[in-house]
Structure 1
Amino acid sequence: MIHNIIRGRAVPSSAGGHRDLINPATATVHGRATESGPTDVDDAVGAAQEAFASWRLTTPADRSALMLRAADILESHIEELTDLEVTDTGKPRDATRDEEIPASIDVVRFFAGACRVPEGRSTAEYLDGITSGIRREPVGVCGQIAPWNYPFMMAVWKWAPAVAAGNTVVLKPSELTPSSTSRMAELLADVLPPGVLNVVCGGPDVGAAIAAHPGVAMVSLTGSPRAGRAVAHAAADRFARVHLELGGNAPVIVFDDADLDATVEQVAFAAYYNAGQDCTAASRVLAHQTVYDDVVARLAEAARTTATGPLISAAQRDRVVALLATAPPHAKLVAGGGVPDRDGFYLEPTVVAGLRQDDELVQSEIFGPVITVQSFRTDDDALAMANGVEQGLTASVWTRSHSRALPFLRDLDFGAVSVNSHAPMGSELPHGGFGSSGYGKDLGIYGLDDYTRVKHIAHAW
């Protein structure tokens, strides 16, 4: 049984409920998790409030030392954490063990260092006889809601900057994938003071209770735009701060001078990794008309030779299949689209060509192993098509021409834009979008800043 972790101890739900956990690779039950309610949220928030009174006063050096110890503990349990993550998500084990878990632990180490060098303006005299300065202070209790596509990684992206900045945390993992998050908090109870990191398991009702709780000073969500709106509305009633990462619909602009071998290889990887269940997935390809047919053929071949893991659930697979069914007559299914005859929630890597800008497959974040391909004629066409969706998380441009790429770095309305690479990630690199992709940054020094408040202090002399 996967339990809540409150005050550093594993505790069941006060209501005594539980939820079966399904392995997406086999479609079988592999365990159970406690199903919490508002009383459990009250308990966790109370624990976080108690801990905040002293945690906020710790020095950056002390917080840093504890977080470095936390990273070492997580690293020493990497096999166990990988097993929990793979069983909950159905992910391939090698990629999880060798890429996702280590990258997440590096985030802990990054924020352990970043908290010792907060950014701020110089102390100075802006008024006669008064010295002014800036304090960066923790916000308070942070309620955090993590998604199911990268459970361990997204949990770390949430709690590490918040705790490093001197806040305390109530974190809700997805009800589908709570195992690695609960175990992480249990392991870190040997390092972090009781109540600094609390985990409450449960479904949307628990998330809603966290977002609306009067003891929560800031709410951070990675999820859908619909969930983001609900969180923002709930937090607005008490003027709590909100941090939202709400997905993407990334354009991949392929010009006629691009290195097609390198482009297609990297785009297919970025589109199909984690079965396309990634807010930065390279899912929306815009190809110049002179290379369009070649790009489509190459992507189709890549789809036929790529193996992907399962989608997270039968419901998610059905959603993607239903989106594919909306393809209009002018669209062409050139690869995949079928449901393999095997256990688990799999869908063939798919390429759909011939789409137009207002087609639902173009306008929607698919969140599955699907690449759509459109053709453009001019640079202006490419820019208008790329920007012509509600989400604005990440985009990429593929060209050998520096001068051609520069205007797109400026004009693409996305929080991250790259040239001849797609959505490079690193602990130092801020991640967050515009428009319906939300606001606020994960990672980098900006991720730490988002979990602080700025106070002006003045001393007359």
Structure 2
Amino acid sequence: MGERLQNFIDGRFVPAQGAGVFEVISPVTGEQVALAPVSETGDVEAAFAAASGAFATWKAVTPSQRQKHLLALADAVEAHADELVEAQHRNTGQPRAIIAAEEVAAGADQLRFFAGAARMLEGRAAAEYMEGHTSYVRREPVGVIAQITPWNFPLMMAIWKIGPALAAGNTVVLKPSETTPESTLVLARLAGEIFPAGVVNVVLGDASTGALLSQHPSAVMVSLTGSVRAGEAVASQAGLKRTHLELGGKAPAVVFGDVDLGATAKALVEFGTFNAGQDCTALTRVLVEDAVHDELVEHLVAAAQATVTGEADEAKNDYGPLNNARHFASVKARVESLPQHARIVTGGRAVQGSAGFFFEPTIITGVKQSDAIVQEETFGPVITVQSFSSEQEALELANGVDYALASSVWTTDGARGLRFTRDLDFGCVWVNTHLLLVAEMPHGGFKSSGHGKDLSGYAVEEYTRVKHVMHALGA
């Protein structure tokens, strides 16, 4: 049956007041690994009461003290790496080595960055902008933050949420995805051993619980990473509250014929299938100069066919399963409903002989810009290929979707690379690489990909408010 999970409120685990529960299913085996509550109004009220009470004192803690707390949490994450990896693997099926490197180690590093950023808030210099008066800017914490995280990188997304919020002096009520709650609960327990009670609170539940968070009058800001549909719901529920929305992507890679096509194809497939393509920045659309289209496709097929998934020994896998049965069915249906002009040149099926939600690395050619597979987020290990004959056409194809989170250009022409970093309409542009992130640089998109920045000092600023103070100097 698996463990019955509890909420983490006011520094301790407590059973949910609501009677509803849902099964947490391993995407590797399809079997239940835990039972989690569907938190209701009473649970959410208790969490916000704890966060509101803690904010009264946490907001006054000095930046150096907030830094010490975050550094201690980073150390705790590293010290409990094995526990965090196992908790997340139960829920996601990701290869353990990938969780350890990409979420635990990277998460500890990001917490250490936010610890430093707590002491580096910026504002205009105090000066006499009006004769006889001195003005300056105060950056203050916003208050109690409602946060909702997705299932694709549960631990990392929780760190991206709580790190900058706590660094700025806020308190949080966070709801993880109903399919992947366990690593977040471990993180909450570790935080509860370091931070004052009520600073970090986690409530479990589904979309109905998320709506209670977004609508709660004590929440002065709502931060969500999720789908466009989820973002639209949160924006409606939040009303006049501040929102921070990271809502997915449909990232293009613009490939010119002057690159090493074999090496480039291997990289494109790696960046398109990492985490089974369940990444908002995943490389999903290859746009290639028409003169080398066929050659690049041959290399893409070879690279995809060399990519391993679905093995019983998860250490052999380059990526794990899709997260849940509903999403598995969605990816499968999207690939099976391609228009007649599209051609699957490799993949396109569930991995045979596996009990879990594994899907083959898939390359699709012959697509048109208006096709759903080009325009809509698939969130699986699926890459489409289109050709172009000019830089202008390449930009039109790349920018011709509603999403604007991430993109890349592959060329040895430095001037061309600079032009594309200027003209690609995405929040992040990589040149001759893709998907890589560092704590010091911002992550976030435009258009339907939402607004607001994760990572970097900009993320900490997202969780602050700006107050102008003016003093009359007197006679």
Asked if 1:344 corresponds to 2:344, the answer is: no
In structure 2, runs of 5+ residues without a counterpart are 309-318
User: CA–CA distance in 1 between the matches of 2:173 and 2:92?
Assistant: 22
User: CA–CA distance in 1 between the matches of 2:252 and 2:436?
Assistant: 15
* Residues 369-394 of structure 1: per-residue CA shift (max 9 Å, x gap): 10110011110000000000000000
User: CA–CA distance in 2 between the matches of 1:98 and 1:115?
Assistant: 25
Asked if the contact 2:262/2:296 (under 8 Å) is kept, the reply is no
State the shift of 1:73 in Å. Answer: 1.1
Q: Which amino acid aligns with 1:33?
A: A
Matched residue of 1:243: which SS?
Answer: strand
Equivalence map 1:7-46=2 (5 Å): 7-46=10-49
State the shift of 1:44 in Å. Answer: 0.4
Q: Which amino acid aligns with 2:274?
A: Y
Structure 2 counterpart of 1:66: 69
Matched residue of 2:152: which SS?
Answer: coil
Structure 2 counterpart of 1:244: 245
- 4+ residue segments displaced more than 6 Å: none
Structure 2 counterpart of 1:287: 288
Deviates more, 1:276-285 or 1:259-268: 259-268
State the shift of 1:396 in Å. Answer: 0.0
State the shift of 1:266 in Å. Answer: 1.5
State the shift of 1:209 in Å. Answer: 0.5
State the shift of 1:406 in Å. Answer: 1.4
Equivalence map 1:5-404=2 (5 Å): 5-236=8-239, 239-307=240-308, 308-339=319-350, 340-404=352-416
* Residues 352-407 of structure 1: per-residue CA shift (max 9 Å, x gap): 01111001100011100101100111100000000000000000000000111111
TM-score, with length taken from structure 2: 0.95
Deviates more, 1:12-21 or 1:161-170: 12-21
User: CA–CA distance in 2 between the matches of 1:262 and 1:422?
Assistant: 13
* Residues 19-50 of structure 1: per-residue CA shift (max 9 Å, x gap): 21111011111112222112111110111000
Q: Which amino acid aligns with 2:383?
A: I
User: CA–CA distance in 1 between the matches of 2:429 and 2:49?
Assistant: 41
State the shift of 1:408 in Å. Answer: 1.1
User: CA–CA distance in 2 between the matches of 1:256 and 1:118?
Assistant: 45
User: CA–CA distance in 1 between the matches of 2:295 and 2:304?
Assistant: 14
* Residues 193-238 of structure 1: per-residue CA shift (max 9 Å, x gap): 00000000000001001001111000000001111011111112xx
Asked if the contact 1:326/1:361 (under 8 Å) is kept, the reply is no
User: CA–CA distance in 1 between the matches of 2:189 and 2:102?
Assistant: 23
State the shift of 1:167 in Å. Answer: 0.2
Residue of 407, 414, 422 corresponding to 2:419:
407
TM-score, with length taken from structure 1: 0.98
Q: Which amino acid aligns with 2:348?
A: G
Equivalence map 1:417-428=2 (5 Å): 417-428=429-440
Deviates more, 1:199-208 or 1:326-335: 326-335
State the shift of 1:16 in Å. Answer: 3.5
Structure 1 counterpart of 2:312: none
Asked if the contact 1:3/1:10 (under 8 Å) is kept, the reply is yes
State the shift of 1:156 in Å. Answer: 0.5
Structure 1 counterpart of 2:313: none
Asked if the contact 1:7/1:194 (under 8 Å) is kept, the reply is yes
RMSD: 0.9
Deviates more, 1:275-284 or 1:25-34: 25-34
Q: Which amino acid aligns with 1:281?
A: A
User: CA–CA distance in 1 between the matches of 2:124 and 2:231?
Assistant: 32
Matched residue of 2:287: which SS?
Answer: strand
Asked if the contact 1:335/1:350 (under 8 Å) is kept, the reply is yes
* Residues 305-333 of structure 1: per-residue CA shift (max 9 Å, x gap): 10231100111111011111221111111
State the shift of 1:127 in Å. Answer: 0.3
* Residues 275-304 of structure 1: per-residue CA shift (max 9 Å, x gap): 000001111100110111111111111111
User: CA–CA distance in 2 between the matches of 1:45 and 1:400?
Assistant: 53
Matched residue of 1:120: which SS?
Answer: coil
In structure 1, runs of 5+ residues without a counterpart are none
User: CA–CA distance in 2 between the matches of 1:121 and 1:228?
Assistant: 33
User: CA–CA distance in 1 between the matches of 2:9 and 2:103?
Assistant: 26
Q: Which amino acid aligns with 2:128?
A: E
Matched residue of 2:363: which SS?
Answer: strand
User: CA–CA distance in 2 between the matches of 1:438 and 1:423?
Assistant: 18
Asked if the contact 2:221/2:242 (under 8 Å) is kept, the reply is yes
Length, aligned pairs only: 459
Deviates more, 1:207-216 or 1:421-430: 421-430
Matched residue of 1:283: which SS?
Answer: strand
Matched residue of 1:217: which SS?
Answer: strand
Matched residue of 1:27: which SS?
Answer: coil
Asked if the contact 2:18/2:37 (under 8 Å) is kept, the reply is no
Asked if the contact 2:24/2:36 (under 8 Å) is kept, the reply is yes
User: CA–CA distance in 2 between the matches of 1:260 and 1:105?
Assistant: 36
User: CA–CA distance in 1 between the matches of 2:19 and 2:372?
Assistant: 42
User: CA–CA distance in 2 between the matches of 1:2 and 1:429?
Assistant: 35
User: CA–CA distance in 1 between the matches of 2:75 and 2:418?
Assistant: 41
Asked if the contact 1:259/1:400 (under 8 Å) is kept, the reply is no
